[in-house]
Structure 1
């Protein structure tokens, strides 16, 4: 049966509400983590969290984090179908980490595409020092083959990972990024609502030091990637 305009409108409204909930929740979770670290206690928050402001003397245009998140201890499957240990494979390397899904209609292709454009501005030596890792939030549909085909349009050397969604959600949560289970819409499409932050891990300690929110412009990545490749302190 064809969908009516009313049904389509309702589905669209529901998707928008889920997105708004998650974006708000992710912002609060990340802001809380940053603020609680600054307070020196994980149990003493008594008021609304506030995002730590970027240091005025930072060389980066991205937001420097007040808490340097540990790289998740996560084992998934890469686009060649082989086991991939995130910590082990990216130890001592600059790593940009993003959670999303290949059938995402907007933020995922835009974010990964912008990073891809900026990566092409790096010298071959700089590019070899940076790992761009995309972790699927819709592993049932994002098979290794689907991921590889999708990522190749942005960066043939981009790393795609897929696997147990519970592990993915736990890893994202440890970084202040919230992910909801994929939802099959009435028209058969799938919505996987997720936080849209990109986290940059420096090679010096394998911790996240710089944050890029949804909507970050290409010129910001173009400015920051050479610094990240060199491992410049935030």
Structure 2
């Protein structure tokens, strides 16, 4: 079941490539009206402010880089970025959007990817919630191996909030890790989606040997900044 859903999840993001920015920028069926949109973007601004508190570094690894929404923010922090995603379609959007020689792209399924070097900062957004619980520890151990001693991680993800998704999509917090997602064209995919609470996320990162601080915005986001402090 898990392998099937992981493959379906990759196909979902391939098919969603041209729609993803519409979700983030609250366009079309993701437009929740002036008040809720303002609330969303105010909370996005909190994430960006927290990210930009990191001092400039030489080399950043971005996992599940997507269409470049956060890659463009990382360019203001790092001299070089290695951006990895399983979907060639989102990588191409990212490449065309940024057109930066500072970004090097790699296409990998993150469940088969293995780190080949260590980085000053490892970043991923809206990805950890798609990692099945039985694969979480092995994934975070790979993240740990990809961070240099004294290096940092920065993670952004979703809180459970029904207005974070499309107007025609009912978000249920029913305890299942498998969720059905629908695209603008009517295609449906089953994916993994979890909503971490701060204590849960901090615990998992501590098991992976990261010293972290986990925070939430009022409605939509959970984020963590951590440091690798041991070998």
> Which of 1 and 2 has higher RCO (CA within 8 Å, sep 6+)?
1
TM range (shorter): under 0.3
TM-score, structure 1 length as denominator? Answer: 0.28
Structure in which a larger fraction of residues adopt strand = 2
* Structure showing greater Rg: 1
Instruction: Give the TM-score normalised by the residue count of structure 2.
Output: 0.28
